[in-house]
Copies of this chain bind each other. A is one copy, B any other.
Amino acid sequence: MTEEKNQQILLVKRPKGMPTEEDFKMVDKPVPQPEEGAVLIRTLYLSVDPYMRGRMNDRKSYVPPYQLNEVITGGVVGEVVQSKAADLKEGDIVLGNLGWQKYSVTGSNQVRKINPDIAPVTTALGILGMPGLTAYFGLLDIGQPKAGETVVVSGAAGAVGSVVGQIAKIKGCRVVGIAGSDEKNNYLVNELGFDAAINYKTTPDIKKALADACPKGVDIYFDNVGGDISDAVISLLNHKARIPLCGQISLYNLEKPDIGPRIQPQLLITSALMKGFIVSDYADRFDEGISQLTQWVAQGQCKFRENIIEGFENTVKAFLGLFSGENIGKQLVKVADPGQKRAVSK
């Protein structure tokens, strides 16, 4: 039996603009050994997320930048294959901030055990994980939706946007999604119950399309994308509108700061609120969020899709696909099946 290696993906160059395959490198390292209190985890699914692009820049942000020639870290669902910790045993499925690698060693207190009987384990990276919580707290805590209000969501078919729209429907709002394909928009309206959806790539006049879709104006704009789309929405804000600022994916790969019409005059005349946030701002309320989202999923009130690419070697491709809008729902990479016997070096 050949000795099994730990494949890892390192960041080797800081991307200029849109990242390319050359910014990353796949390397083989020995499979690490856990010390006392730690576990060895085999990656089953790993998450690629838009926020990771920001960490590839050498710039102060809400999370520190990735270091060059180190493994890209991010959300992983994995299986414990060797345990030196009392609270985890082989075969346990866990969620952790581990990274783009086939095996990870970490303290057992750095991961959270997940129950595969409640929902598919992949949901811990999606609707019952960071993206679902991001939607939940951004919409409910910053957006404060009230029945009868109009909510616009950009990046509406993504892992966060699709949950935002469904929660807004549960709260009795009119929900208008903005996404980049008719397939996505059919999904939003026909499967998720959005009231309307706008294809920003084919609509000749997005402001007019929005005005038609929002006859009573916009009370909440959940912003995942930024740029021209946001300018159009902001021109339609109602008095005391709220803008949870979740992402700006249209700007992440620009080489210079983007220039646009100043938004302060519009926020001023509407007494509107705009607030940036990151899900970890709500860390002390995660249990509440997971509990509520789990209930909505169980009741069929929150549906979800996952876009799963097979094979660790396709991780970078999956990541790059986020910026061309290829995914509906949560984008994941499947690395291994649970229960596989691990090849051990002799």
| A interface residues (Cβ-Cβ under 8 A, vs B) | 54, 60-62, 223, 226-227, 230, 239-240, 245-248, 251, 257-265, 267-278, 281
Contact = CB atoms under 8 A, between A and B. Distances in A.
Copies of this subunit: 2
Given A62-B239, A239-B62, A262 B258 contact: yes
B260 A270 contact: no
A218 to B, nearest CB: 14
A245 B264 contact: yes
Contact of A271 (B261, B265, B272, B277): B277
Given A61-B269, A260-B262, A271-B277, 16 more contacts: A54-B269, A62-B269, A245-B264, A245-B268, A246-B268, A248-B268, A251-B265, A257-B265, A259-B259, A267-B274, A267-B275, A269-B276, A271-B278, A272-B275, A273-B276, A274-B275
A258 B246 CA distance: 25
Main secondary structure of the interface of A (DSSP, over half): mixed
Contact of A261 (B227, B258, B272, B277): B258
A53 to B, nearest CB: 12
Contacts of A246: 268
A291 to B, nearest CB: 24
Contacts of A273: 273-276
A261 B257 contact: yes
A222 to B, nearest CB: 13
Contacts of A240: 281
25 contacts: A54-B269, A62-B239, A62-B270, A226-B262, A226-B265, A245-B268, A246-B268, A248-B265, A248-B268, A251-B264, A257-B261, A257-B262, A257-B265, A259-B262, A263-B263, A264-B274, A267-B275, A268-B277, A270-B276, A271-B275, A271-B281, A272-B276, A273-B273, A273-B276, A274-B274
